[in-house]
Amino acid sequence: MGTTQGKVLRYGRDWGEAIFQTVMGIRGLMSFVEDHSNEFFTDLKLRDTKIIIDGYALFHRLCFSSDLDLQYGGDYDSFADVVQKFFESLFACKICPYVVLDGGCDISDKKLTTLKDRAREKIQMAHSLSVGSGGYVCPLLIREVFIQVLNRLQVPFVQCFSEADRDIMTLANHWNCPVLSSDSDFCIFDLKGGFCPLNSFQWRNVSTIKGTGDRYIPAKCFSLDALCRHFSNMNKALLPLLAVLCGNDHVNLPVVETFLSKVRLPPGAAGSKGRRHHRVLGLLNWLSHFAGPAEALNQVLKQLPKKSRGDVRELLCCSMEEYLQSQVKLQDFFQHGAYSCPDACGLGLPQWVLAALARGQLSPFISDALVLRRTILHTQVENMQQPNAHRVSLPIRQVIYGLLANASPRLEDTSGNAPPPQPLAFREVERFHKNIKTSIVAAVELPKDHCDLSRLTELSVASRQALLLEALKVRPAVLDPVPASLKLPIAVSCYWLQQAEAKVRLHHLQALLLGMLLGPLRTVAHGPDEAGQRWVGALALCEELQGARAPPGPGLDLDAAHTFCQWQCCLQMGLYLNQLLAAPLLEPDLTCVYSGSLAHGLCRRLLTSASAEGLLRGCPEAQQLYECLIHATRSCAPAELFLPKSKSNSKKKRQKKQGSSGSKNRVGAISDMGNWYEGGNRFGLLMVENLEGCMEASELA
């Protein structure tokens, strides 16, 4: 176990509980049933079957239990390798996986309070990681990398319109196959094929049946029938009430605590492990005395003040309905490529948007912005003393919001929350120091031909690409020499270099660009030996870069970490905007674009002993590609970035004395480049004004 993981363990009783704390569900239930595994679980030799996989739970589990970097912003190549090995284990055992991913938030936004609580917890963990302690924070682009690997391996998957749990249960029962997840909600669902928790799914330990040679994965399967038998053959229909009384993602009412303080739990409950186990065991014993949920619910309400009983009954009943079968038939998607979602159909969204969401070609971020006019910006391991890293990508998000602002009149007032005060306003939940706040952000007003979301994909590729590059403040000619697979990352890097908040140093840029060489180098190094010396040079440089990775542990350079977090925020929003515009630029393979430990390790080398040119001397092809990338980004960078340190410092002093800004000077072959950015951008001025207004309109969440 690596250093980081060893420290991370202090956040949970063990891996199972720690992962469970990250994946939403019913408080205390998973650890309770696992502590009684002999009573409630059966051993399985899983092979030759379909299996429905909770995608959200899986990528969290693989990220947190594989000794991967969590401190430097993500080693996406290493994560992709783990995901590939996981599915290769399934294929070896003739297990057919179907991955189901959560989509955006529910139209009612009823989990917003829970999501804000999770965001605060993530900020504390990110801070802990930033100072060299433990914590669980998924790298920013981990979901996108997961989807790219699924596509590459041709693993069938679907992205639901909102939360996936009920749709997973309904599909699994339709196919009579097990569910693989870490979410304790699946202990409540009545699953015909059973529920296999991820932490007892031994995919790294593929075994062989003697005699037949058939391969299988050892697993444990939770038995709802065994749980009910253990508690006096209680009615399964009572279990949804157990979920809401224990506290899940939908219900956390003070009045429930009032009930629990008044009801006399059966003897023996106090001897269980911890307060949550006490609650789970006591409630199971108590519920087992009732014939059905109606009788038990009446007893709950009797413990509450009369004035609140009606509202509480309605809320508890609605929450219990979350455990009923879904109307969605995901089998239609896996068999025919499309499915109908009643919640989505009533919103009047363009059909191409619904199809792209289902295929994972649009992010839940887009869905939340469309349906709720509210997004959540996830915290990274960044400098908590600095403004949150997402601020640097605000102008890109404003363009995204501008494209979504007039999607459908039926989207007005869909959420129970008060709508934003302006018609083109969106709410963003973001980090503010070590807490969260909600900011009001104005969308950019776009030209009329870009305002109709239903016809956006009908625009020419050239028109959509022009809008993308304009948002990223890059001239098309800058990208002409850049390989197609790197055009979007380089365009994003050009945008990042122009942001005053991104205090980029030359070694930051060089480290990023050197990291982008690793993908092409691996292709050459692991390919056929056709060119002799070319292969030797690529292999040597590949090994040199791999050896440059920073080890886990204390000593994180917070300035570099924050700068790279800002770059990832720009890449994330550049990726989302490119997807929304139907990919006018090729979507890059993220595993070849960024590795956190490599970027930080190269930073250290470039600051101490090595130079970029020296590292590349033995591989002319890599040197040529690097020079192409550095030339493209140089055209958009502040002039002082490429000056020797002494000259750069003296130039800053002169600029300060003259009251001038470094952003007025750009290096490049075209002298009017700066003017193009400042005057030629149709919505550049609006972006600046909205950025200033946004901070004035902010409020603590």
The string over 288-311, giving b where at least 16 C-beta atoms fall within 10 Å of a residue's C-beta and e elsewhere, is: bebeebeebbeebbeebeeeebee
How far separated are the first and last CA of the chain, in Å rounded?
38
Query: CA-to-CA distance for 645 and 652, rounded, in angstroms?
Result: 11
How far apart (Å, rounded) are the C-alpha atoms in residues 566 and 487? 19
Please report, for residues 388, 453, 534, 628, 653, the alpha-carbon distance to residue 614 in angstroms, rounded to integers and kept in the order given: 35, 49, 17, 17, 31
Q: Tell me: pLDDT of 130 over 80.
A: yes
State the burial class of residue 78 (Cβ atoms within 10 Å of its Cβ: 0-12, 13-18, 19+): middle
pLDDT for 160 beyond 60: yes
Q: Using 50, 70 and 90 to split pLDDT, how confident is the model at 387?
A: very high
pLDDT above 60 for 361? yes
Distance, CA of 530 to CA of 550 (rounded, Å): 33
**Given this model, what pLDDT does residue 685 score?**
32
Nearest CA to 215 among 93, 101, 334?
93
Tokens of 88: 């290769």
* pLDDT of 345: 87
pLDDT category at 11 given cuts 50, 70, 90 is: very low
Model confidence at 425, pLDDT cuts 50, 70, 90, reads very high
Within a 13 Å sphere around the CA of 240, how many CA atoms are in the beta-carbon half? 20
User: Residue 157: in which H helix or E strand, if any?
Assistant: strand 157-159
What is the predicted pLDDT for the residue at 646? 55
Q: What's the CA gap between 25 and 33, in Å, rounded? A: 13
The candidate with the shortest Cα–Cα distance to 145, out of 56, 99, 76, 84, is: 76
Q: What is the pLDDT of residues 461-476, one digit of tens each?
A: 999 999 999 999 999 9
Does residue 30 contact residue 13 with C-beta atoms inside 8 Å? no
Residue range(s) of every CATH 3.40.50.1010 domain in the chain: 13-267+274-323
What's the confidence (pLDDT) of residue 609?
79
Task: Give CA–CA dist 433/698, Å, rounded.
Answer: 14
* Sheet containing 374-376, strands listed edge to edge, beginning at the edge strand earlier in sequence: 374-376, 425-432, 435-442, 699-700
- Which has the higher per-residue pLDDT, 385 or 671? 385
Q: How far apart are CA 308 and CA 64, in angstroms?
A: 42
Question: Phi and psi for 151 in degrees, rounded to 5?
Answer: -65, -45
Least confident of 117-121, 123-127, 672-676, 697-701: 672-676
30-32-33-36 Cα dihedral, nearest 10 degrees: 150
Mean pLDDT, range 260-287, rounded to an integer: 70
* Coarse DSSP helix, strand, coil percentages of the chain, rounded to the nearest 5 percent: 55, 10, 35
pLDDT in tens, 375-384: 999 999 999 9
Identify the pLDDT of residue 107.
85
Find the range with the poorest average confidence among 102-116, 220-234, 368-382, 479-493: 102-116
What is the pLDDT at residue 406?
81
Between 666 and 593, the higher pLDDT residue: 593
Structure confidence at residue 671 (pLDDT): 30
* Lowest-confidence pick of 103-107, 349-353, 686-690: 686-690
Residues with Cβ < 8 Å from 593, sequence gap 6 or more?
76, 486, 489, 515, 516, 519, 571
* pLDDT score for 421: 52
Tally Cβ neighbours within 10 Å of residue 332.
13
Q: Give 100's strand partners.
A: 54, 158
User: pLDDT category, 277, cuts 50, 70, 90?
Assistant: confident
In CATH, what number does 13-267+274-323 get? 3.40.50.1010
Secondary structure element (H or E) that encloses residue 425, with its range: strand 425-432
The predicted model gives 276-296 an average pLDDT of 89
In the block, tokens 């917890």 appear at 121
Which band of pLDDT confidence, cut at 50, 70 and 90, is reported for residue 356? very high
Amino acid in position 394: L
How do residues 49-74 score in pLDDT, each as one tens digit? 999 999 999 999 999 999 998 999 99
pLDDT of 156 strictly over 60: yes
Neighbours of 524 (CB within 10 A): 21
Q: What percent of the chain has pLDDT over 90?
A: 64
Q: Residue type for 170, please?
A: T
Average pLDDT over residues 80-107: 96
Per-residue pLDDT of 535-590, as tens digits, reads: 788 888 999 999 999 988 778 999 999 999 999 999 999 999 999 999 999 999 99
Query: Per-residue confidence at 676, pLDDT binned at 50, 70, 90?
Result: very low
Please tell me the predicted confidence (pLDDT) of residue 649.
52
Cα 698 from chain centre? 24
H-assigned helices in 405-505: 461-471, 476-479, 487-497
Q: Is the pLDDT of residue 81 over 80?
A: yes
Rounded Cα distance between 512 and 502, Å, is: 14
Q: Report the SS3 class of residue 517.
A: coil
Q: What is the DSSP letter of 431?
A: E
Q: Which residue has the tokens 């994003």?
A: 492
Task: Judge contact between 626 and 613, C-beta under 8 A.
Answer: no
157 and 360 in contact (C-beta within 8 Å)?
yes
- What is the spatial distance between Cα 596 and Cα 604, in angstroms, rounded to a whole number? 13
pLDDT digit string (tens) for 581-632?
A: 999 999 999 999 999 999 999 999 999 878 999 999 989 999 999 999 999 9
Q: What is the pLDDT of residue 238?
A: 96
Using pLDDT thresholds of 50, 70 and 90, give the confidence band for residue 298.
very high
Mean per-residue pLDDT of the chain: 85
- Helix or strand or coil: residue 411? helix
**CB 89 within 8 Å of CB 206:** yes
610: tokens are 């090595």
- Tokens 């970490």, located at residue: 561
- For residue 28, give Cα distances in angstroms to 170, 185, 246, 274, 304: 25, 11, 8, 9, 24
Whether residue 511 has pLDDT greater than 80: yes
DSSP H or E run through 432:
strand 425-432
CA 311 to chain centre: 35
pLDDT at 644 over 90: no
- Average pLDDT of the segment spanning 421-448: 90
Place of tokens 């199809």: 355
Residue 696 pLDDT greater than 50, yes or no: no
Integer Cα distance of 82 and 93 in angstroms:
17
- What backbone torsions phi and psi does residue 131 show, to the nearest 5 degrees? -105, 10
Averaged pLDDT for residues 149-154: 98
Is there a contact between 51 and 90 (Cβ–Cβ < 8 Å)? yes
